[in-house]
Copies of this chain bind each other. A is one copy, B any other.
Amino acid sequence: MAFDDLELPSVNAKDVVGGSATYSAFAASAFAEVRLVAVVGSDFPDATIAALRARGIDTDGIEHAEGRTFRWAGRYDADLVHRTTLDTQLNVFASFAPKIPDAYRDTPIVLLGNIHPALQLEVVEQVRRPRIVIADTMNFWISGEPALVDSMLKRIDTLVINDEEARQLSGHHNIRRAAKAILGRGPKRLIIKRGEHGALLFDSEGIFAAPGFPLEDVVDPTGAGDAFAGGFVGYLAGQAELSPLVLRRAMLYATATASFCVEAVGTARVATITKSDIAERVTSIRALYEFGAATM
């Protein structure tokens, strides 16, 4: 959980409540009861904790540490795709070691946010036979902790990364070769996020492509990937089985959830979306490729 200073084409916003855990939790809470493990400093607003609770999110796993909350500052290009990190302050995050409350140990669906792979492994150790473990990671760990990233890959079911991270992790530029290489290192499934171009799921059934939803108003892409992951696990939580078909549907719900996230600054929109908002957008996304039987 974090504060972000965002220089966006349309607005500059300071001290915006953010962080992967915040975005993912708000997103998943449209579908399911969420248990949130994260760390905040003494400067973190009670109002956000209250807003999370009001969405049915269990916040007992949030550690309140002495000191300041993690901070990130970034500037987005006019294209809202490229961004430059202006500042990162780890603050209380520097010494964070996730402690899974006893009441959380039987959580069936586990989303490992993008933290040190050693900490991701510790979280996996603390949960009891979940139905599915999904993890995110980033360039910093891929290059800095390759051995631990490899160990992490062996303990998870599904990796969710963006295309650049897939290329870096695999050493292949070609996305299909990259996916094959990564799947050979542990996870059963790989999701590659491609921003406005949607996302690809690679699994034993082949490839599934979720199209990006072309929005007229993109305000702030921050947290879109986390909202995607949150929408994905949230949708799965309500499903009796995690079949390839269900995973494919989850891709559309994830895409829809992320598309709401970018429509407002910070968590403003993702904090209020409902299951029916998301279902309605899934219908719009499906309409993107609707047509009759293709015959010559």
A115 to B197, CA, bound (A): 29
Are A287 and B175 in touch, CB under 8 angstroms? no
- Given the known interface contacts A209-B288, A291-B249, the answer about A176 and B296 at a Cβ–Cβ threshold of 8 Å is no
List which A241-294 residues lie within 8 A (CB) of chain B: 245, 248-249, 252-253, 275, 279, 282, 286-292, 294
Nearest residue, chain B, Cβ from A194: B197
- Chain B residues in 8 Å Cβ range of A289: 208-211, 248, 289
A239 to B40, CA, bound (A): 62
- Chain B residues in 8 Å Cβ range of A209: 211-212, 214, 288-289
- Quick check: is A21 within 8 A (CB to CB) of the other chain? no
Are B207 and A288 in touch, CB under 8 angstroms? yes
Q: How far is the CB of A220 from chain B (nearest CB, A)?
A: 14
A170 to B93, CA, bound (A): 44
Are A218 and B249 in touch, CB under 8 angstroms? no
Picked from B214, B245, B286, B290, the residue with its CB within 8 Å of the CB of A200 is: B214
Nearest residue, chain B, Cβ from A214: B176
Are A216 and B174 in touch, CB under 8 angstroms? yes
A100-132 CB mask vs B (1 if < 8 Å, else 0) is: 000000000000000000000000000000000
- Quick check: is A46 within 8 A (CB to CB) of the other chain? no
A209 to B211, CA, bound (A): 7
Are B215 and A176 in touch, CB under 8 angstroms? yes
Are A245 and B288 in touch, CB under 8 angstroms? no
Picked from B180, B291, B292, the residue with its CB within 8 Å of the CB of A208 is: B291
Task: Please provide the 10 A-B residue pairs with the shortest distance between their CB atoms, ordered closest to farther.
Answer: A248-B291, A197-B197, A209-B211, A209-B288, A176-B214, A176-B216, A249-B294, A245-B291, A245-B292, A209-B289
